[in-house]
C-alpha cells in the first residue's frame, strides 16, 4: 500500500479539485460533493482490480486523495471483466448497473487523461475484456494467444 508520502502531488497533471470538476462536468453531477463520492467509489473499486507495477504507476499519476482511495484496497487475485466490475460496483453501492456504468466511465475516462495513453494501454492490456470502454477507449478484439 502506498502512503501519502509516496505519492507526489507535483507528478499529477491536475489537482484533486480539478479532477472533481472534470468528473462533475463530464458526469453531469449537480455538485462537487456528488462527484467526489463517485471518484471515491470508483477508485476504491478499481483498487481491488489492479496490482503489480501498474498499480504504482497509476497511483503516481493521481492526485493524492484519489491515489489513497485507490491504494487503500487490496487487489483481488483475479480481476473482474469490465461488465463484472460494473455489476460489482452497482451491488456494492446500491446503484443500478446503468448508473454504475455511467459513474465508472466518467471517473475512469478522467483517470485515463491523468495516466496518459501509455499507462492506460498497459492497464487495459493487463485487465480482462471490457475495460477499454470504461477508460473511454475503443474496445478492440484481442489477438488470440497460442500456447
Nearest 10 degrees: Cα torsion 38, 66, 62, 109: -10
Tens of pLDDT, residues 43-55: 999 999 999 999 9
Tens of pLDDT, residues 76-135: 999 999 999 999 999 999 999 999 999 999 999 999 999 999 999 999 999 999 999 999
Which pLDDT band, with edges at 50, 70 and 90, does 13 fall under? Answer: confident
Give the whole-number percent of the chain exceeding pLDDT 70: 86
What is the pTM assigned to this prediction? 0.86
**Distance (Å, whole) CA 145 – CA 147:** 6
Amino acid at each position: 500500500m502506498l502512503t501519502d508520502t509516496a505519492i507526489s502531488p507535483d507528478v499529477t497533471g491536475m489537482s484533486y479539485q480539478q479532477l472533481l470538476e472534470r468528473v462533475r462536468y463530464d458526469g453531469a453531477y449537480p455538485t462537487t460533493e456528488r462527484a467526489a463520492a463517485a471518484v471515491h467509489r470508483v477508485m476504491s473499486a478499481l483498487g481491488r482490480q489492479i496490482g503489480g507495477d501498474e498499480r504504482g504507476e497509476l497511483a503516481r499519476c493521481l492526485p493524492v486523495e484519489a491515489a489513497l482511495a485507490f491504494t487503500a484496497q487490496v487487489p483481488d487475485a483475479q480481476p473482474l471483466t469490465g461488465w463484472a466490475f460494473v455489476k460489482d460496483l452497482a451491488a456494492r453501492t446500491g446503484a443500478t448497473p446503468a448508473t454504475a456504468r455511467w459513474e465508472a466511465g466518467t471517473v475512469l475516462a478522467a483517470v485515463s487523461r491523468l495516466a496518459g495513453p501509455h499507462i492506460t494501454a498497459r492497464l487495459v492490456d493487463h485487465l480482462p475484456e471490457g475495460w477499454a470502454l470504461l477508460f473511454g477507449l475503443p474496445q478492440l478484439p484481442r489477438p488470440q494467444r497460442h500456447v
